[in-house]
Amino acid sequence: MTSVLDPVLTRSDIPARYRRTPIGLLLEYHNLGRSFERYDRAQLLIGMCMDNRKHMTIPDNFAFIIRAGGANMRYSEFKLSFAIAIGGVRHLALIGHTHCGMTNLASRKEDFVRGLVKNAGWSTREAEGHFQASAPLYEIGEVAPFILSEAERLRRRYPKVTVAPMLYKVEDNRLYLLRDKKSSRSGRKAH
């Protein structure tokens, strides 16, 4: 799956389907420096990676945020369901990022094992077993195609929720909209 990054440098760069929605507001707050408004409850759910280099510029109480390695929400579905069912959110921003550690995990096996032995007091055998059992579950492959496929999966799972796939560029601290190369700029209708 080939993906395209659409920058959001002005309000007119926000696709019409996201304008005047919490997703459009997220882009305005984070990328465009919109003045913060006051919120008493979350307007959207942000699913993003646990990486410490990413920080959203948003007002207090604006969003629920679930952080999981690679923005992989497969093992956080109950939390998503809770935010939708109890929190009432109807918009989800799924945000991957450049230089994600959940890509090419096999190349990090030795560092992983060494780190668990040194920092956690594990045996080499325990650490290797943990890596072998868990790495396949958390490997995301390339970031953009993973985020696009995860967004599509979540759209099917929660058909009344608008899901916007995004990429956070660590290099410039900005959000970019992600789309499949086959989609037009306006893209298909968001669910």
Which amino acid is located at 173 in the chain? N
Which domains does the chain possess? 3-102+142-180 (3.40.1050.10), 104-139 (no CATH)
Q: What is the pLDDT of residue 53?
A: 85
Query: pTM of the predicted model, to two decimals?
Result: 0.90
3-51 pLDDT, tens per residue?
Answer: 788 999 999 999 999 999 999 999 999 999 999 999 999 999 999 999 8
Q: What is the pLDDT of residue 180?
A: 80
Q: What is the pLDDT of residue 182?
A: 67
Q: What is the pLDDT of residue 181?
A: 73
Neighbours of 100 (CB within 10 A): 21
Confidence of residue 191 (pLDDT cuts 50, 70, 90): very low
CB 22 within 8 A of CB 43: yes
C-alpha distances (whole Å) from 138 to each of 16, 49, 69 are: 34, 12, 7
CB 91 within 8 A of CB 43: yes
Q: What is the pLDDT of residue 58?
A: 97
Q: What is the pLDDT of residue 54?
A: 85
SS3 at position 72? coil
91-120 pLDDT, tens per residue?
Answer: 999 999 999 999 999 999 999 999 999 999
Q: What is the pLDDT of residue 166?
A: 97
- The residue with greater pLDDT, 191 or 137, is 137
**Rounded CA gap, 102 and 123, in Å?**
23
Average pLDDT over residues 139-163: 96
51-63 pLDDT, tens per residue?
Answer: 888 889 999 999 9
Confidence of residue 185 (pLDDT cuts 50, 70, 90): very low
On average, the pLDDT of the chain sits at 93
CB 118 within 8 A of CB 48: no
Sign of the dihedral defined by the CA atoms of residues 22, 23, 27, 30, in that order: positive
**Rounded CA gap, 123 and 87, in Å?**
42
Order of strands, sheet of 44-48, starting from the edge strand that comes earlier in the sequence: 3-7, 174-180, 162-169, 91-97, 44-48, 63-67
